[in-house]
Chains A and B, each alone.
Chain A
Amino acid sequence: MAETLDKDVVVKAKEPLFGKVEKKLLKDPLNDNNPITVQVLGVCSALAVTSMVYPSFVMAVAVVFVCAFSSLFTSLVRNKIPPQVRMIVQLVIIATLVTIVELTLKRFQYPIYRQLTVYIGLIITNCIVMGRLEAFAMANKPWRSFVDGIGNGLGYGAILLIVAVIREIFGKGSLFAGSPLEMKLIGTTPDYFINTMADGSWFGWYANNNLMVLPAAAMFIIGVLIWIQRSYNPKLVDIS
């Protein structure tokens, strides 16, 4: 498929900058070819970071950035990379971008840097980034690779946010905790966070569910999401 894409461009010399192909590249990862639910890449970080919405959001933004630019740079030098060392080259590009993200945060947004250091490092090992470099950027032109990177980053981020919203509401009764937008949904005392049962003073009808805080919950939620997606999307029925 990648080869034909390249030939298309050669035949029709005047392609619009954002034509059908680019639209498809951007839209596909959101549903038909979602990195988490269909390609099943990057599940590890989806399980680990999604206990709260805010870190998931920053993680998603960082992955979109790294995914897009590593695809762009890899694609720019794709014909010069010797195949023997191609994975090493890809890793160096990804690691460089991640380090740049880290240094930038440290310089301009120190508190967020302190909150996220571990996760930013984790992007290097995110399978989606390298998976897209191997599957797409190594065989396609820079602009399309860039769009593909953005699309896959968004597809990953979308699932991350859905899972995180469910987990944070039912696990902690809050939304966006730790960010300026922090919302307290269940309960009125500052005790909404955890240990609502501690001194017997729990409020209303709901006690926070600790299972939702633990990574196992993300596994169930992603499983259910895959189930729902497959029963709605006929294209996916016979894939696996």
Chain B
Amino acid sequence: MYTTKYIFGFVFIMTSLVALVLSGLFMGWKDQSAINESIFNKRAILGAVNDHLGGKDAQTMGDEEVNAFFDKNVKQIALDMSGTELKAADVISSGYKGGKAEHIDMAKEKKKDEADRIIPLYVFNAGKEEFYIVTVIGNGLWDNIWGNIALESDMSTIAGTSFDHAGETPGLGAEIKDNPTFPARFKGKKIYNEAGEYVSIALKKTGAKASNPHAVDGISGATVTAVGVEEMLARGVKYYEPYFNSIKTTKKSGVRN
């Protein structure tokens, strides 16, 4: 009934039409989608210091407001793994056209060798004090998970966190983002112990004591995601250690930048 020629013709015309429509939509909306994504990321970064935004809430701020607030109060620094600040040209040569820390794609960096990675650091100026917001990425159960950790100026006490994920199960692993109590658990915890050793934060399945400064409650029903968060914090925050050490020594010797 249908000749081979007809079938090939039909399929060819159909796929061409579909491809045309979809690529047209994609290209037409690409710029706005990219802006949406950048604002979404900035909002997540500000979400980590939500208590210190001067009475504002990153979730309820308008898109323009987030953009303006971020550009005004946040200093972006791109670092390499030895803790040296990178110039815009170095970031561009790593493949990020914008040249700023905010353009660094953590998922791309995750695929590189550990020694070759570059990492973004956001210094949020809240008037009286400064917060260092670091970005970490790791593996959840199904896909990447990542987060922004805000450290107080002692570079040990956590001022706030925000987490996100690409495909964790809603109600279980996705709680790291959906459940407001999860990021709040980290507030006031310390990543260095009293002897000054790096200990990171553990997620305890059986529940952590409030008095323990280095552990928080895990997520029930999402063991793999919790293990992922723990690993991501232990490894990812440590990437920033060389830079933090260099600031600490300059501060001690009394030289201000």
Spell out A's residues near B (CB within 8 Å): 48-49, 51-52, 55, 80-85, 88-89, 92, 96, 99-100, 103, 106-107, 110-111, 114, 117-118, 171-172, 177-178, 190-191, 193-195, 198-199, 210, 213-214
Q: Is the CB of B217 within 8 A of A82?
A: no
B115 contacts the other chain (Cβ, under 8 Å)? Answer: no
Q: Given A51-B171, A85-B11, does the pair A96, B40 have CB atoms closer than 8 Å?
A: no
Complex-state Cα separation, A210 to B217, whole angstroms? 16
Q: Is the CB of B220 within 8 A of A52?
A: no
B7 contacts the other chain (Cβ, under 8 Å)? Answer: yes
- Which residues of B lie under 8 Å from residue A117 when comparing CB positions? 166-167
Interface residue count for B (Cβ, 8 Å)? 40
Minimum CB–CB distance for A99 against chain B, Å: 6
Complex-state Cα separation, A27 to B12, whole angstroms? 38
Q: Max chain B CB contacts within 10 Å: which of A48, A193, A195?
A: A195
Spot the interface stretch: B15-23, B125-133, B149-157, B244-252.
Answer: B15-23
Residue-wise interface mask of B (1-40) relative to A, using a CB-CB cutoff of 8 A (1 in contact, 0 not): 1100011001100110010011001100100110011011
Residue-wise interface mask of B (46-81) relative to A, using a CB-CB cutoff of 8 A (1 in contact, 0 not): 000000000000000000000000000000000000
Q: Given A103-B29, A107-B29, A214-B221, does the pair A88, B171 have CB atoms closer than 8 Å?
A: no
Residue-wise interface mask of B (171-213) relative to A, using a CB-CB cutoff of 8 A (1 in contact, 0 not): 1100100111100100000000000000000000001001000
Q: Is the CB of A103 within 8 A of B175?
A: no
B170 contacts the other chain (Cβ, under 8 Å)? Answer: yes
Q: Is the CB of B14 within 8 A of A89?
A: yes
Complex-state Cα separation, A100 to B22, whole angstroms? 7
Q: Which residue of B lies closest to A211 (CB)?
A: B221
